[in-house]
A and B are shown apart, each in its own frame.
Chain A
Amino acid sequence: MKCPTFEQLIDYCDGQLDERDAQLIATHFAAGCCKCADNRQWYERVRRVAKSDDSREPPPWVLKRALKLFDKTRWQDRPVDNLGRIVASLVFDSLSQPALAEVRSAEMSDRQLLYRAGRYSIDLQIALCDQSTAELNGQILRENESGFESVARLPLKLIGKSEEQYAGVTNEVGEFFIQKLNVGYYDLLIETREGSVAVTQLPVKSS
């Protein structure tokens, strides 16, 4: 006998066939058709799994409460680029602060920048070594955390002109120090345990 149709095979498994047709299919199985045996095994496994399913749905209020967790505005505050990275936003730049009266030009002093990305803040200090090179010191911190568990030993890299200029890890307190950088714009990427944080177009320069 040639292979029964899928429909006949299921009818056979469900005991829906008359005796004669069932006998024909039983003989076919006995002849050792692997394809039909696989289909039969699959169907019986699926039936078994479905029959044993005693899982329970949560009450509607439980589901509703969980759905409400997703607050769209929160995600708008935490923009994610097309690579899934949380893009940090600049909240403070010492250069954009008005100069104090009778204070000498701060041209060669360190530039302070503070970025925020979701629950993380990234504090950066840029110190010019000369006209063309600078040092970048920074620290990443996570809000509402008294220790530094979330920010210690995080991989980070600095990308400039589409090439990796530096790769390293944060120290035990989330700090990092990068020396001898050519002035210019960089992307700083920090791999937190909650995802990648990106400071894009970071100005490593004094003005």
Chain B
Amino acid sequence: MRKRPDIRTTDSLRQQSDAELLRACLEGEPAAWEGLIVRYQRLIYSIPIKMGLSSNDAADVFQSVCVKLLEGLSSLRDLEKISAWLTTTTKRECWRVASGRRREHVAFVLEGSGNPNESIHPADSSPLAHQQQEALEQQQILRAAVNALPEPCRNLITMLFYDESELSYAEIARRMNMPVNSMGPTRARCLSKLKKLLEGKL
């Protein structure tokens, strides 16, 4: 019988597939729920922000999407990838929150408390362009793969790819406590691992 990997450790959580985490959630494993939410937190939170919602509304959307995910765990349990489901659900929640805000704004103006000419744009919610959505999904795939790398590689690739200050090799080597001349081979090994993780995905 195949032993299910221990999902309680952070490293193994990162390496679980979505379907494995969903099944573990259904078995009542809180760590699996945390693994899922942490994996998709950027995707869920960035969609409302990109659609022009405020950070408060984005927080509301985030919570409602998580509630829907929790409620739908059983029906999603066999999905290998839930990113598409999360994207669609998040977009719908954004529209719902935005239309609620618009109704509140109209009521506010009709009650005479607000000036209709005032340039208030409650939750403008511009539609998420197809390209933007595709880009978000690709970014999600890459981040998840980087996060699934074993720790030294994860740190190295994160510094190489995501550090805004564009660190030099010497600085990365210093932070990783390794000689500069082993940076090249280490980076190549880590990228090979990343390539394997991304096979058929990106």
A57 engages B66 (CB within 8 Å): no
- From A70-78, A129-137, A160-168, the one touching the partner chain is A70-78
Please tell me if A203 contacts chain B, counting CB pairs below 8 Å. Answer: no
A-B contacts, CB under 8 A, total? 113
B46 engages A56 (CB within 8 Å): yes
- From A26-34, A59-67, A107-115, the one touching the partner chain is A59-67
Q: How many B residues touch the partner, as a band?
A: 35 or more
Segment 50-87 of B: residues with Cβ below 8 Å from A: 55, 58-59, 62-63, 66-67, 70-75, 77
A66 engages B74 (CB within 8 Å): no
B67 engages A49 (CB within 8 Å): no
Please tell me if A183 contacts chain B, counting CB pairs below 8 Å. Answer: no
Quick one: which of B41, B66, B139 contacts A52, CB cutoff 8 A?
B139
Please tell me if A84 contacts chain B, counting CB pairs below 8 Å. Answer: yes
Given A7-B187, A47-B161, A53-B143, check contact A66 B62 (CB 8 Å): yes
Q: Which residues of B come within 8 Å of A, CB atoms?
A: 23, 25-28, 30, 33-34, 37-38, 41-46, 49, 55, 58-59, 62-63, 66-67, 70-75, 77, 135-136, 138-140, 142-143, 161-162, 184-185, 187-188, 191-192, 194-195, 198, 202
Q: Which residues of A come within 8 Å of B, CB atoms?
A: 5-7, 10-11, 42-43, 45-47, 49-59, 62-63, 65-67, 69-70, 72, 75-76, 80, 84-86, 193-196
Q: What are the nearest 7 A-B pairs in CB distance? A: A195-B74, A75-B28, A7-B188, A50-B161, A70-B33, A58-B45, A55-B42
